[in-house]
Amino acid sequence: MAHVREMGVWMPIVLKYFWYACWALITPGLLGTVTIMAWVYYEPDDFEGYVFPPGIQFMGWGLELFAVAVVLAFVIHTYVVRIMKGKSISFRVMFLEPTPLWGPRIEVKKVVKGKDNEGFEQDDQ
């Protein structure tokens, strides 16, 4: 939650714990539970009584597992790269803390094209 403090965003303490619990525990837990329950209680896919052939069933499993494989591949790649560079492989450091490159973007002076609205007057508030 250091990033929230760093941005200067005020949050009630209860909301901070709720936010952390949702992103670190509840969401991954629910996604994992739904995926595992779908595997355990698997029934062949069908539509209005027509059971799809095994090749289509396999393609459906492949689509579902592709998303899981991408996440696992990212985690494995991150671990391998960090080990090769001699950096910490702590989960907290790797996935929950910002990198040195994280932060506000560098402002670039924009060239304004067009005409100003000479009739515009800003309210004094």
Tell me the C-alpha distance between 38 and 32, whole Å. 10
Among 20, 9, 11, 18, smallest CA distance to 96 is for 20
Read off the tokens for 43: 């029934």
pLDDT of residue 2: 67
The interaxial angle of helices 27-40 and 54-85, nearest 10 deg, is 140
Tell me which residue has tokens 């670039």.
Answer: 108
Q: How far is CA 51 from CA 41, 45, 47, in A?
A: 16, 6, 7
For the segment 24-48, the average pLDDT, to the nearest whole number, is 88
pLDDT at 86: 85
Mean pLDDT of the chain: 82
- Looking from the CA of 26 toward its CB, the CA atoms found within 13 Å total 7
